[in-house]
Structure 1
């Protein structure tokens, strides 16, 4: 682990789209993903052993991003987000608690790529 608490592999992915049902159908047919539809706005994608590995969500007018974001595990979401900003990143989604997942945040790197953080 690096001094900033980042781990090298993503822990979660999220696809934010203007048409969640269409995206759900596409990825289910493309990759054979098993889906757990929570409601029309969010679906969990099953990974190894049936545990959720990611999600597909409905992007609305106030959504912080659209597209796919990989979430990397960190020990402290607030500290990691602050470090990203110190290095030239921009905060996109403030730290938020997600039931059953911990806390998340999203920033864009200096090239504009959205990157997620996932921590306890």
Structure 2
């Protein structure tokens, strides 16, 4: 993400989810013996630093509404015990429905100049 000319809030969580998935594979790999402490330290660092963002509705909506990711990236978290995938998906869908209702209600309101 550092090399990108323009970084968007919507790319952060999917990028972190991909990183956590890759680290999980390395963590469980028998072939990674020497670097195992490093893998665990990076996993713990990402989880502790960015973990709360997976509960932040602004970040979830930004990622869900980003055309490159939508909600497909959430499946990467299924193996991570840190996150409840169904809960994340439900929160995002609920918030989108609320936003859609507000938008449609505002369009239905009669203008004050009528009458």
TM-score (norm 2): 0.29
Structure having the higher strand fraction is 1
Q: Which has the higher contact order (CA 8 A, sep 6+)?
A: 2
TM-score, normalization by structure 1: 0.28
Higher helix share: 2
